[in-house]
Amino acid sequence: MPVIVDKAIYRDGSRHGCGDLSDELASLRERGDAGSFIWIGLKDPTDEEFALVNSELHLHPLAVEDAVNGHQRAKMEEYERSLFVVLKTLRYVEATSDVETGEVMLFIGDRFVVTVRHGDGNPLQGVRHRLELESGKLAHGPLAVLHSVMDSVVDNYLVVDREIRRDLEQIEEQVFGSAAGGDANTIYRLKREVLEFRRASQPLAETLHIYLERGSGRHLQDDARVFFRDVADHLRLVNDHVDNYDHLLTDMLSAHLAAVSVRQNNDMRRISAWVAIAAVPTMIAGVYGMNFEYMPELSASVHVGSGEFRYGYFVVLLAMGGICVGLYRAFRRSGWL
């Protein structure tokens, strides 16, 4: 059964090998030692592989269905004899600024924990290792495993949160920096990832709240309960941030689109202003190019001696140049150029 990643019995917080599942479970139940339990770790089990494990543990069929199907919402569902927990894990891919969602499921029974992991990047191995070094915590039994996994998943949310904030600040700089860059595409994509983040963290906060206030978490002893409340508290922090990112990205999208539109309109205005300036000498030249044989304002120079001839021509050229310069200055003053 290569689908079983790890399997061990924990007694008073220390690890022991685990033989046949049903025999071990029976002997654990017989002894009635509250802190002892079997911890089985699975990875991407198929229907049949899961059935093998389940034949010994008698998990609830609805929980099994969810565990095999995957793609569940984060939740803590209490069945008669076990607690079924779905956690969405997040992973940030630096190269594409993508948030990827994985899944960890836990079946918490009286004398066993089954952790099921879908996809890569789930840090369950690290959790088991750290817990084995904290025998005091392990001695609290299966719920200690649940807390450690949750804590690790939520701590990881904080890491992804930090990465998202970094991306957001980078976009902010692009949008509001001197270059006035950025593009709607990037902003939309980050928003999408933020939504993906929220889809993982918000349902968990809800379900944990319900577990602690109305579910069996209500009956936890205060010293254990406070650990789950710590996780809930960090989730609230993360959810606050994620909400803020969403709002800021919406505002940024507006501001960015505004900046782009303003810049493009400015360009249009500048181009049009130049065209307007060019239109004036074109028009004047058109008038003097009308080929009338006698033009009063030019006649003095055209038909008389060549000394005055020069003067008339320059008057027209100067008039053109002067009007252009005047227009240029007027446009500059109104900020069009």
User: Starting at the edge strand that comes first in sequence, how are the strands of the sheet with 112-118 ordered?
Assistant: 14-16, 4-11, 37-43, 112-118, 98-108, 83-93, 75-78
Which residue type occupies 330?
Answer: A
Minimal distance in Å, beta carbon 229 to Mg ion? Answer: 9
The Cβ of residue 334 has, within 10 Å, a number of other Cβ atoms equal to: 10
Contacts (CB under 8 A) with a copy of itself, residues 299-328: 302, 306, 309-310, 313, 316-317, 320
In terms of DSSP bridges, do strands 83-93 and 37-43 run parallel, antiparallel, or are they unpaired?
Answer: unpaired
281 is a site residue for a copy of itself (CB under 8 A): yes
In terms of DSSP bridges, do strands 83-93 and 98-108 run parallel, antiparallel, or are they unpaired?
Answer: antiparallel
Is 26 or 285 the residue whose CB approaches a copy of itself more closely?
285
**In the chain, what is the straight-line distance between the N-terminal and C-terminal CA atoms, in Å?**
76
Among 36, 148, 196, 200, binds Mg ion (CB under 5 A): 196
**Rounded CA separation 153/123 (Å):** 8
Among 99, 124, 187, 194, binds Mg ion (CB under 5 A): 99
Contacts (CB under 8 A) with a copy of itself, residues 181-210: 184-185, 187-189, 191-192, 195, 199, 203
Contact predicate 114/52, CB 8 Å:
no
Residue 174 interaction partner, one of a copy of itself, Mg ion, none, beta carbon < 5-8 Å per kind: none
Among 52, 93, 279, 315, binds a copy of itself (CB under 8 A): 279
* Binding mask of the shown chain, residues 130 to 169, with x at each position contacting Mg ion by CB under 5 A: ---------------------x---x-----------x--
98 is a site residue for Mg ion (CB under 5 A): yes
Minimal distance in Å, beta carbon 282 to Mg ion? Answer: 25
**Rounded CA separation 82/93 (Å):** 35
Residue 20 interaction partner, one of Mg ion, a copy of itself, none, beta carbon < 5-8 Å per kind: none
